[in-house]
Amino acid sequence: MSEWSLSHLLSELHEDIEHRLSTARAAFAHPGTKGAASEHVWLQLLETYLPQRYRVAAAHVVDSTGAFSEQIDVVVFDRQYSPFIFQFERQTIIPAESVYAVFEAKQTINAELVRYAQQKAASVRRLQRTSLPIPHAGGVYPPKAPPPILAGILALESAWKPAFGPPLTAALQPADTLGRLDLGCVAAHGTFCYTGDTYQFTPPGKPATAFLFELIARLQSTATVSMIDVRAYAKWLDT
């Protein structure tokens, strides 16, 4: 009989993430350094476990009109069908058409951070995304509507007690759909997901692993990003 245990492996994955986030919190005194270390933990998790068609980075997002998003801690984006990314001195710029999901990553979740994450999500979602017809062996498919961009929040702990109660539920209600947070993970306490009309909260029990699986499931249902109109960006060569 095999000595492997799937339950044990999934538990170890969560415990590793929670331990690394806790170490970053305890080891670094400078808030900026602490935040950067926490952000890197989440980036590395997704880099390691998401399918290879996806990439992750801290980045700004740009559209073909020249509008930019705010800086985003964790962007999940396409590299299989999106040829255009700009990198300079550790700054990454990603076209809006390439984006699948955006997350704000911090040590502790609270009302201010939720509002901040909602603002970041809205700054990406309001960008314009192009979509071209798709050639195939039998002809051409019409342009597909750009898929919804997922948004969420990632943290180690919560400032609320209990972590998942009415204050969090109230904070998660955005002013409009542009700022809605679809899913999140508070590694020490659990996960939350927007189900179409309400939020569901999952108590502790491998939250980081549960978040990873839910993200992958939602990315699967999103399918593929729309075909980017590179010429819409090329017009900026003449300005």
How many domains are there within the chain?
1
pLDDT in tens, the chain (239 residues): 567 766 767 677 777 777 667 766 666 555 555 567 778 888 988 998 898 889 999 999 999 999 999 999 999 999 877 777 788 777 899 999 999 999 999 889 999 999 999 999 999 999 999 998 888 788 888 888 899 999 999 998 899 999 998 999 999 998 789 999 999 999 889 999 998 888 999 877 788 888 999 999 999 998 788 889 989 998 888 76
Does residue 54 lie within any of the structural domains? yes
Is 176 tagged catalytic? no
User: At CB < 8 A and 24+ separation, what contacts does 77-81 make?
Assistant: 78/53, 78/54, 78/224, 78/225, 79/53, 79/54, 79/55, 80/53, 80/224, 81/224, 81/225, 81/227, 81/228
Full domain range(s) for residue 185: 6-145+154-238
Q: How crowded is residue 44: how many other Cβ atoms within 10 Å of its Cβ?
A: 13
| Given the residues 18, 39, 73, 182, the one annotated as active site | 73
Q: Can you state the angle between helices 6-27 and 31-49, rounded to 10 degrees? A: 160
CA pair distance 135, 128, nearest whole angstrom: 22
Q: Can you state the angle between helices 6-27 and 207-222, rounded to 10 degrees? A: 110
| Given the residues 18, 63, 97, 104, the one annotated as active site | 104
Q: What is the pTM of this model?
A: 0.89
Is 12 tagged catalytic? no
Beta bridge partners of 136: 139
Is the distance from CB of 62 to CB of 228 less than 8 angstroms? no
Is 235 tagged catalytic? no
Does residue 1 lie within any of the structural domains? no
| Given the residues 106, 157, 182, 214, the one annotated as active site | 106
Fill in the DSSP letter of residue 189.
Answer: T
CA pair distance 20, 34, nearest whole angstrom: 11
User: At CB < 8 A and 24+ separation, what contacts does 29-38 make?
Assistant: 34/107, 35/105, 35/106, 35/107, 38/105, 38/106, 38/107, 38/156
Does residue 221 lie within any of the structural domains? yes
The torsion angles phi and psi of 184, rounded to 5 degrees, stand at: -160, 165
CA pair distance 239, 106, nearest whole angstrom: 38
Q: How crowded is residue 88: how many other Cβ atoms within 10 Å of its Cβ?
A: 7
Does residue 139 lie within any of the structural domains? yes
